[in-house]
Amino acid sequence: MSSLALAIVAAIVLSGGLGLYLLYRQAATVAANQDRVPEGFAGAISNGEHRRAAAYTLARTRFEFGQTAFDTLLAVVWLTVLLGPLYTLVAQFVAPGLSRSVALVILFWLAERLLNLPFSIFSTFSLEASFGFNRATPAMFLLDRIKGLALSALLGVPLLYGFFFLLRVLPDFWWLTGWAALMVLMIAMTVIYPSLIAPLFNTFTPLPQGQLKTRIEALLAKCGFESNGLYVMDASKRSTHGNAYFTGFGKAKRIVFFDTLLQNHTPDEILSILAHELGHYKLGHIGQRIAEMAVFTFLGFAVLYWAFAAGLAGSFGLAADPGLVLIIILTALGPVLHLLSPFTSFLSRRAEYQADGFAKAMAGPEPMISALTKLARDNLSTLTPDRFYALFYYSHPPVPARIARLKAV
């Protein structure tokens, strides 16, 4: 391998090692604080609930420790051992050209999914089930995976052919054209997903008429938000976790409540959670996220352009097949971007604080404080995370920090 290849492998190992260290810190911090409910929560969360949340966090942290170690090792093995035999296998059956490159990526992706399947099974049917969260049956789990594979093939295969075709016909500008096309597709998916894809996995029913819907519609009018409907999603058939979100773009926007959220929260709490989600829209966070996505996607395509120009596959002693170059970048990019996650997580947490402020202005602080406390209790979220772990991985600020902001004048 060349020095460039060794540097990429070293970056993957460094990223994995950092992830393991942060998980160790998280476990140590949660364990050290598991017997004492943080100040301000003693009346809302019992010692038993706090210890149970710590136990869940520690169990999930141990699981993520194992998965991080496995993923890091697998990435290194792919780049240093397995990609050569994979190419040889595909080359025996597929002639040189677009189809060979597509077949390489598809076979790599299928192998990755298969190797990670045991982790998904354990997480769903052991870890989540042991804490009372999982409600999915093995048949439902299997059907979800089959649907996911079918959708990935339906969308992914044409995209791969289009990508490699652009690479051939536009040798100097394929990366700009590909970036623009992908951005159009990603924006279009915000409209397509809620109406065509999400219903393949869950049932969405209109929110029934009643006082809650009347109050929600009044809040929407107050915020100047027009939606394509209010829906309840049957999340409880898979998990007891609760949430709410809005999705779509333009006139296709719709608001979705998990049925578990409606079951476990008061109308005032539901309105405050909705006001928080509306805050993301009113404060321009949707546009900001699209802009951030455009920047990071642009940088990703720039890296791809450099990889093809630099003959990256050759640096690993591999054939100069575009499919191999794409696999190398896909394998290395995630771990490398992990090193930048404090920045992206900071942007997300800042938006969450701002949305909390909007909810406070629309519905008052107390309903949001009550809702956050209840969500933390019901979802077994730790109230004592390690600050460096949170810096990297928390897209939402820790609940105590959010409540402290809501209580501030």
Is residue 353 scored above 90 in pLDDT? yes
Q: What is the mean pLDDT of the chain?
A: 91
Nearest to 22 by CA among 71, 65, 73: 65
- Minimum mean pLDDT range among 224-228, 276-280, 348-352: 224-228
Cβ-defined contacts of 53-57 (< 8 Å, 24+):
53/376, 53/377, 53/380, 53/381, 53/382, 53/383, 54/30, 54/382, 54/384, 55/131, 56/131, 56/380, 57/26, 57/30, 57/380, 57/381, 57/382, 57/385
- Minimum mean pLDDT range among 231-245, 248-262, 352-366: 248-262
Fold assignment, 184-264: Zincin-like (3.30.2010)
For the ranges 21-30, 208-217, 225-234, the maximum mean pLDDT occurs at 21-30
Mean pLDDT within 386-403: 95
Of the listed 71, 277, 352, 386, which one is catalytic?
277
Nearest to 160 by CA among 182, 187, 190: 182
pLDDT tens readout for residues 115-151: 999 999 999 999 999 999 998 999 999 999 999 999 9
pLDDT score of 251: 65
Q: How far apart, in whole angstroms, are the C-alpha atoms of residue 249 and residue 227?
A: 10
Q: Which residue has the higher pLDDT, 140 or 228?
A: 140
Of the listed 352, 356, 378, 386, which one is catalytic?
356
- How confident is residue 182, by pLDDT bands cut at 50, 70 and 90? very high
The predicted model scores a pTM of 0.90
What is the maximum span of the chain, computed from C-alpha positions, in angstroms? 69
pLDDT score of 225: 79
pLDDT score of 249: 67
Q: How far apart, in whole angstroms, are the C-alpha atoms of residue 281 and residue 189?
A: 18
3-class state of residue 38 by DSSP: coil
- Minimum mean pLDDT range among 43-52, 133-142, 331-340: 331-340
- Is 356 considered catalytic here? yes
pLDDT tens readout for residues 50-105: 999 999 999 999 999 999 999 999 999 999 999 999 999 999 999 999 999 999 99
The answer to whether 191 and 252 are in contact (CB under 8 A) is yes
- How confident is residue 252, by pLDDT bands cut at 50, 70 and 90? low
Q: Which residue has the higher pLDDT, 227 or 209?
A: 209
The domain limits of the chain are: 1-93+279-409, 184-264
- Is 277 considered catalytic here? yes
